Amino acid sequence: MLPSVIFGDPGVIVADQTSQARTTSEEWLRDARRARALSLVTLVWLGVESGLGIAAGLGSHSVALIGWGASSLVEALASLIVVWRFTGHRTHSADAEGKASRAVAISFWLLAPYLALHVAYDLQMGHRAVPSALGAAVTAVSLVSMPLLGLAKRRLGARLGSAATSGEGTQNLLCAAVAAGVLAGVALNGVGWWWADPAMAVLLAAVAVREGRKAWRGQSCCH
């Protein structure tokens, strides 16, 4: 019995390792289900946010507000990708994770050229943003809610080893940052700083390109 006391019973060790592996697998699956559920909730809100943001932007000639509403559609695409990633047999697929990460990166890049072209058009046409109560309300709601969703998804992404989930969380954080910028831009435009609104839109385009590059490489981003 002495060797068993000193070195441990091999059968007991194997059983413990199996139990630990099963527990880890169950925890991973719970996190995967949470990631999918959060993405579904986000998807619903982004549909509302995008419609209201674009409507408010068109009504006030705010390219930053329109861009922010359009970025909500990009975020929605990222949410759909994560839902796809953690549905059915793809849940345990490393290949699906790679495809999802690259798709999220592309969703970042879709926003940048649209913003650049829209800024150029508005400057050429001489459009100037005007205050929008609807825009202020919807951006304020996102300023509060999106950081909570983004941080939760980034924590889940780290536990799951999922760059796609972390990338979606990054887009939520970016949405909140841009919401703050849009509110600031509208306020500054009210005191005569008309260039603040298009400047914020250009900054959003640059950040989208940078974060897309990181997502393509599978990196967590937006600290």
**pLDDT surpasses 90 at 72:** no
Q: Is residue 75 part of a domain?
A: yes
Q: 33 versus 72: which is more confidently predicted?
A: 33
- Number of structural domains found in the chain: 1
Which one, of 164, 173, 172, 149, lies nearest residue 84 by Cα? 164
**For residues 139-153, average pLDDT:** 90
Give residue 150's domain range: 32-216
Which one, of 68, 16, 40, lies nearest residue 183 by Cα? 68
41: CATH: 1.20.1510
User: What pLDDT, on a 0 to 100 scale, did the predictor assign at position 220?
Assistant: 46
CB 154 within 8 A of CB 95: no
Q: Residue 9 — pLDDT band, cuts 50, 70, 90? A: low
